[in-house]
Every structure is written in C-alpha cells, then in structure tokens.
Chains A and B, each alone.
Chain A
C-alpha cells in the first residue's frame, strides 16, 4: 500500500494559476456557446474584445473611465473628509450620539439612487449631481464606521493618553484616530465599493459621460450590446483595481498591528 502518485498523472497546476485557468475555460465555453447559438442573447467574448477595441479607437474608453473616476474621487473623498472626523466625534461623545442617532438611522437606509430626482433638481444634469449621489452613498457607511471604530478603542489606550496629559484634541489625533485606523480601513474598503456601484447608476441618469452612461447609450443608440458588455467588464476590472489599491493600505506597517496581534 502506498500513497505514491501514479506515473502519468495530470501535470500539477500551480495554485496561483488555477483561478486564471478556470476563467480561461469559462471564456472558451462562452465563445463556443455563442458560436453554436448565434443570436441576440449576448455578444461573445471575442465580440466584447472588439467592443473594447472600438472604444479605444474612438478615444472614449479613457475619457469615460476618467470621468467616472473623477466623480468617485470627489464624492468619496469629500465623504471621507467629512464623515470620518464627524463620526469619530459623534461616537466619542455619548450625548451627541444619542441626539443624532435617530436622524442617522432614518437617512441611512435610503438608497442614494432615491436621491436622483432631488440631485437633478438641485444640481442639474452634470458632474455635481453624480458627485452628490456618490457622496451620499459613501457618507453614512463611513459615518457609522467611524462611530463604531472610536467606540471600540480599548480604554487602556485612552487612559494612557490621558495620563500623559493629552487635551481632547490631542486625544483624537494621537490616540483615537490611530487606534481606529484598522477599523476605518475596512470601512473605506467597503464604502469605496459602494461608491463605485453608485457612480455607474448615477451616470445612467444624471450625466452624459462615464461608464454608466456608456452602457445606457450603447443600448439606446443602436443596440450595441458588445459595447454594453465591454462597459461592464471595464467596470468590474476597475472595481477590482480600486479594491487592490485600498487593500495595500493594510500592509502599511503602522496600520498593520491589529492584523498581526493575537
């Protein structure tokens, strides 16, 4: 009896390669299925590649990607700048939290998309509307993250900080904020995902550029479903890159402590 591998067994595929191999297999299956049943259900992968090439040729791809990223940067960035400090202060002062909690809890479950009519009413069709919607979509998750993060800071750090004579402002800057950073990074990551979802939806209605607009426009202007799927693929890839970007924060040495301890 032995557990030796039989000679002639399949070549071992390295672990990192496996998901890519699976992806390739699925793409091939997709292409084969499309060729057997040519119809209007879905363009094939090859058609999608053609669509992306088309977009590149017309200079639209870069333009739309930049437009979408521009809106996300502003909407998300403003939300971070406002919601994180505000959430930390609200979370720290119990009275502020008790006063504001009902308002926050009512506003929070309203989808940012429900604000589209109001956004257009206030800001018209254009960048500002989209930025406003992304801001709303990011603000509440970030506010709640910051509130929870600051409440979760162990008392021992706060006491140590007070022992060294920190005034309230220094307590926030030198203790509460750094101690909350690992929680905040998780919140940033989730929220950036939300922001990227919202920008596509907002661009379908409130502007006429960007990846969301590309998708609606390709359908309306001649049923170019190869461009629709091309837009979807680009959205997925950029979302992945954004997530990678923010995850690289987790590797910063002074942020990493909560992942390595215990």
Chain B
C-alpha cells in the first residue's frame, strides 16, 4: 500500500502545519484535532475520510478560514489563512443554495463585480456545465436534491476559485443520484483542474474520487494514513487494484469486510 506525506503534484496549494483544535463548551474542553499535518498539491483531488464526529468538518472549516485553529497554521499559496476568501469556496450539502434567488441569481451571486455582459456569459456557461439549462429562472424549492447540489457547485465555480472545499456534498442524496454526481464532479474537475478537498465518511466514495485519501482516526482526529489511489479515471470499480485499495482502508479503519 502506497503512503506518502508529500503532495504528488509539483506546486503546493495548501499546507496544514501542526494544526490542533480544542473546543470549549459549557466549560468543558474537547480536543478535536490533534497535530494535523498535510500538504495538498495544486489541482489535486484529496478526500478527507473518517468516522462521523471525528473533526473532518472542523478541519475543512479551518482551511476555509471560518474557524481559527487553537494551534498551528494553514497556508494557502504560502499565505497564512486569516478568514474566508472567494479563492476557496466551500460547498455545503445542497442546503447552501440561497432559496430566495433563482438558479441564475444563485450562480451570479459572487459575480457582482463583473459587468452585466460578462456576468451573464459566465452564468450561461456554468448553467450549461452543471446541466441546469431550462431552469435558469426556477427557484431552488422547485429543484431536486441533485440539481440543488449541482447549482451550489456551479455557484462556487462561477467565481473561478483556486480551490473547492466540499463537506459531504452528496450525503443527503439517494445512492443513484450520488453516483451520477460523483461522475459529474470528476468531469468538472477534469475540465477545470481546481484543487479539491472533499470530506466524506464513505470509503467507496473516497476511493472512487480521490488522488489521495487522508484517513483520519476517531476523535481526537489524527491522520492515520494517506493512501494514494493510483488508478486512472474512469475507474473500474471491480478491478483488483480498486478492491485492494478499498479493502486496505477498511482494514486500516478497523472494519472487517463483512456485514
């Protein structure tokens, strides 16, 4: 099994250095992240995999700049992260789309600085890319879960960020839609080559999508292992290599491969 700490890509997009996080609630302190070190290369697709409640969202929110770590730093493009930034857009489960705006208005949300023609051009481009043609003037309440999720991805891509941070984006979708969405996301990633950090607790999802899977332990989360998935896309989910890598992670997490 491969395992490496250094990013495989040439230039480093994100450096997480000795990050620790302690939450204080009702006077009680909880250590959630313990000494996390991670490097993500530009254009790389990295999955953060770990059991629910281990601190994946916390780590993602620290990288996004919504939370400050208790110790350590996160650098993006060499600069220490101080707060949220349009160059790194977080995609929440489809709950993040603005229900008071139409599809077009959602996608155009981050484009206020552009002139009208340029904005409309971008909107049209991303409406097409995520397959929402014909729904430009619909409100999110008229869309399915998968469409809302694609809308949120389009809204994020429209501002041309360097990086997408996705927090269990397909968790609320049914299993068929989820598979389609994974394929869509890979297609978009191949077209746009953004750096992608993708949080999931689903081992299959991680192995299907990622260049590298960062396996996290239960709380306090530490990085147990980083697994490089050396299978080219489109991935054959019944190939021996896929099964080997997946089963390796199952074992690593301490789950026997039986139900």
Contacts and interface: CB of A to CB of B under 8 A. Distances in A.
Interface in B49-95: 64, 66, 83-86, 88-90, 92, 95
Interface in A138-175: 154, 156-157, 159-160, 162-165, 174-175
Interface residues on A, range: 20 to 34
B86 A165 contact: yes
Contact of B100 (A154, A162, A163, A181): A181
A159 B139 contact: no
Interface string B213-245: 000000000000000000000000000000000
Contacts of B96: 156-157, 160
A181 B84 CA distance: 26
Nearest to A170: B112
Interface string B91-118: 0100110111110000001100000000
Given A159-B66, A162-B84, A178 B100 contact: yes
B20 interface: no
A258 interface: yes
Contacts of B144: none
B169 interface: no
B86 A164 contact: yes
A255 B99 CA distance: 9
A254 B142 CA distance: 12
A257 B90 contact: no
A260 B141 CA distance: 7
Contacts of B99: 257-258, 261
A179 B66 contact: no
A253 interface: yes
B84 A159 contact: yes
A157 B159 CA distance: 17
Contacts of B159: 164
Given A156-B92, A156-B95, A260-B141, A164 B110 contact: yes
Nearest to B161: A163
A163 B141 contact: no
A257 B141 contact: yes
Contacts of A257: 99-100, 139-141
Contacts of B86: 163-165
Among B86, B90, B100, residue most surrounded by chain A Cβ atoms (within 10 Å)? B100
A162 B98 CA distance: 13
A255 B100 contact: yes
Contacts of A165: 84-86, 110
Given A257-B141, A261-B141, A163 B95 contact: no
A254 B84 CA distance: 27
A163, A253, A256: most-surrounded residue (chain B CB, <10 A): A163
Contacts of B102: 254
A180 to B, nearest CB: 10
Contacts of B88: 163
A165 B64 CA distance: 12
Contacts of A260: 141
Given A163-B64, A254-B139, A261-B141, A157 B85 contact: no
Nearest to A257: B99
Contacts of B100: 178-179, 181, 254-255, 257
A18 B63 CA distance: 62
A255 B88 CA distance: 30
B6 to A, nearest CB: 29
A188 B99 CA distance: 21
Interface string A181-205: 1000000000000000000000000
17 contacts: A157-B96, A159-B84, A160-B90, A160-B96, A162-B66, A163-B64, A163-B89, A164-B86, A164-B89, A165-B85, A174-B109, A179-B100, A254-B100, A257-B99, A257-B139, A257-B141, A261-B99
